[in-house]
Amino acid sequence: MRESFGSRFGVLMAMVGSAVGLGNMWRFPYMVSEHGGAAFLFVYVICVFIICLPIFFAEFVVGRRSQSNAFRAFEKLAPGSQWKWVGFVAITAPVIILSYYSVVGGWSIQYFFKSCTFGFTELVTQEYLDSMFAGFISSTWAPLLGHTFFLILTALVLMGGVKSGIERFGKVMMPILYFIVLAIAIWTATLPGASEGLSFLFNPDFSAITPSVCAAALGQAFFSLSLGYGTMLTYASYVSKKENIASSSVSIALSDLVFSLIASCAIMPAVFAFGLNTQGGPGLVFQTLPYIFSKMPFGGLVAILFFLSLVVAALTSAISLYEVGVAYLTEERKMSRKKAVIVLFVAIWVVGVLCSLSFGPLSHVKIFGNIFFDFLDKLSANFLMTLGSLMVVLFVGWKMKKPDVFDEFTNGGTLRGNVRLFRILWPVLRYVAPVAILVIFISNLIG
Ligand code: TRP
């Protein structure tokens, strides 16, 4: 018998746990600051509602209808067709993303340990924190140790299975995380000079919207909502037939969006208030936040809580990525759960080691002008996820039969609101979403 989630709240928290992660706290703030603040945010919100929500519905439909892992799902719903290759990509891609995700998870663990020794309480300068971060990620052993430790933690939760491992973990930790980041955001809002940061975030300069801003926003939205890689599809396959696909997806997307907003409200106003550099880059969370903590009352304690929750958020997302492969190996290759976890561990760990070293000893190795880490990040967010998402909407819109999609989306026609929503959703799935994804994708390639 396949395992499934035990409760409605548990399902939601597991999916929110997958969505909310380093994408919100680490990637989102630096994407916002690199791509012009409010203009990026504006495009991002549009991407979430017009493009990503329909894709979310589509992944949900495929997963729950097939009740299978990402590979089997396509094969089951379209037997004998070439669509199974989409499933195949959906299985291998998470390994790619997880390998560099785990490296950043490892940084978070190391920063958690640093905060435990109250390393961020004395009045440090920004230069000091910058060079500490640069020195840390370019060193050989400390980041490797973090990466290894992070991956081991993820593997341990996964061995516990769906209900007792994944579900129990998310249920407790996700609400705590929200609370901490909200508290930091409220504190930074009271800083003198914070308003400039808020206007950077919320007062858009529409002329700053370029194809590359759109592509970055869409890529970020895919990344943050865990789309295109079979993650939500796999989780959806554990969801009960009674659940409402539309309302669950909307709550998950909203929680994720709100979380990203709170995280940037915790960071950007402080960046302005303290006159720090807005072009933070991937180090923003690790360089800027510790500085903020050093100025905050009880900052030492807040730092500990913050980095702990960062690790937890990263873990729940990593777990969801890992589970895609585990579901495949246990169901299709008949491996035991334990063996599947170990096989994947080896693959992810090795690629992760290369990512980690690409900041230091291997920094001279460039692929298309990027170090290995950046190459994998761009490959997945701007290319593979786009492709994966495009395939899922095309599959649901053009390959599955309309009555089947309708049946799954509306629980056999019993959910009135969903029946109405379906009328809009269907053309969006068939035309609007695929065309929008293609346009953004191509315009980014050309220019
Ligand atoms: N959404 C997660 C985050 O924001 C990362 C993640 C989990 C992910 N599963 C995914 C990204 C699947 C892409 C695809 O941190």
Q: What is the pLDDT of residue 163?
A: 64
Distance 312 CA to ligand 1 centre (A): 14
Distance 354 CA to ligand 1 centre (A): 20
Q: What is the pLDDT of residue 328?
A: 92
Q: What is the pLDDT of residue 447?
A: 59
Question: How many degrees, rounded to 5, is the angle at CA 178 between CA 173 and CA 181?
Answer: 120
Alpha helix segments (H runs only) across 358-415: 372-378, 385-394, 402-409
Q: Where are the beta strands (DSSP E) in 20-140?
A: none
Q: What is the pLDDT of residue 49?
A: 93
Written as six digits, the tokens of 158 are: 């996964």
Q: Output the DSSP codes for 128-194.
A: HHHHHHHHHHHSSHHHHHHHHHHHHHHHHHHHT-IIIIIIHHHHHHHHHHHHHHHHHHHHHHTSTTH
Distance CA 375, CA 379 (A): 6
Residue nearest atom 10 in ligand 1 by C-alpha distance: 226
Which positions of the chain have pLDDT values less than 70? Answer: 1-6, 123, 161-167, 169-170, 278-280, 447
Distance 225 CA to ligand 1 centre (A): 6
Q: Is the CB of 234 under 6 A from ligand 1?
A: no
Q: What is the pLDDT of residue 202?
A: 93
Q: Is the CB of 312 under 6 A from ligand 1?
A: no
Q: Is the CB of 224 under 6 A from ligand 1?
A: yes
C-alpha to C-alpha distances, 362 to 100, 259, 377, nearest whole angstrom: 15, 35, 17
State which amino acid sits at residue 418: N
Q: What is the pLDDT of residue 129?
A: 85
Distance 260 CA to ligand 1 centre (A): 13
Distance 219 CA to ligand 1 centre (A): 11
- The answer to whether the beta carbons of residues 161 and 337 sit under 8 Å apart is yes
Ligand 1 atom with least separation from CA of 22: 15
Go through 166-194 and write b for each residue having 16 or more CB atoms within 10 A of its CB, e for each that does not: bbbbbbebbeebbebbbebbebbbebeeb
Distance 192 CA to ligand 1 centre (A): 35
Ligand 1 atom with least separation from CA of 318: 7
Distance 39 CA to ligand 1 centre (A): 23
- Choose one of 24, 89, 101, 226 to mutate for the ligand 1 pocket test, by most ligand atoms within 8 angstroms of C-beta: 226
Q: What is the pLDDT of residue 166?
A: 66
Residue nearest atom 14 in ligand 1 by C-alpha distance: 226
Of residues 146, 145, 147, 143, the one with CA closest to residue 132 = 143
First to last CA, the chain: 50
Ligand 1 atom with least separation from CA of 28: 4
